[in-house]
Amino acid sequence: MLVLADFPWENAADWTGELRRQATMHQIYVPAEIPDRASIDAAVVWKVPVGFFDGMTNLRAIIVPGAGVDQLTGSDAPFPDVPILRLADPIMATRMAEYILSVVLDHHRQLGRYRDQQHRMVWARHFHRDPADIRISILGMGVLGKKVAEYLRMIGYQVAGWSRTPKTLPGIDVVTGEPALLSLAERSDVLVCLLPLTPATRGLLDQRLFDQLPEDALLINAARGAHLVVPDLLSALDRGKPAAAVLDVFDQEPLPSESPLWCHPAVTVTPHIASLSNPITGVQQIVRALDKIDAGEPLEHVVDRRRGY
Ligand code: NAP
Ligand code: GLV
> Does residue 286 have its Cβ closer than 6 Å to ligand 1?
no
Closest among 266, 197, 269, 186 to 227, alpha carbons compared: 197
The closest-lying atom of ligand 1 relative to the alpha carbon of residue 224 is 34
Detail the DSSP E strand segments found in 131-217: 135-139, 158-162, 173-175, 190-193
pLDDT in tens, 10-52: 999 999 999 999 999 999 999 999 889 999 999 999 999 888 9
How far apart are the C-alpha atoms of 54 and 194, rounded to whole Å?
33
Annotated active-site residue 272? The verdict is: yes
Q: Out of 153, 272, 288, 305, pick the active-site residue.
A: 272
> Does residue 198 have its Cβ closer than 6 Å to ligand 1?
yes
pLDDT of residue 266: 97
In this structure, the residue with its CA closest to atom 2 of ligand 2 is: 68
Residue to mutate, 84, 227, 277, ligand 2, most ligand atoms under 8 Å from C-beta: 277
The closest-lying atom of ligand 2 relative to the alpha carbon of residue 87 is 5
For each of the domains in the chain, give its residue range(s) and CATH number, in order of start. 2-89+277-295 (3.40.50.720), 90-269 (3.40.50.720)
Q: Out of 60, 108, 135, 224, pick the active-site residue.
A: 224
Burial call 227-256: b when 16+ CB within 10 Å, e when fewer = bbbbebbeebbeeebbbbbbbbbbeeeebe
Report pTM.
Answer: 0.97
How far apart are the C-alpha atoms of 142 and 301, rounded to whole Å?
12
Give the CA dihedral 221, 225, 228, 233, nearest 10 degrees: 80
Which stretches of the chain drop beneath a pLDDT of 50? none
Enclosing H/E stretch for 233 = helix 230-238
Per the prediction, the chain carries an average pLDDT of: 96
pLDDT of residue 265: 96
pLDDT in tens, 149-173: 999 999 999 999 999 999 999 999 9
pLDDT of residue 80: 84
What's the CA-to-centroid distance between 65 and ligand 2, angstroms? 8
pLDDT of residue 74: 78
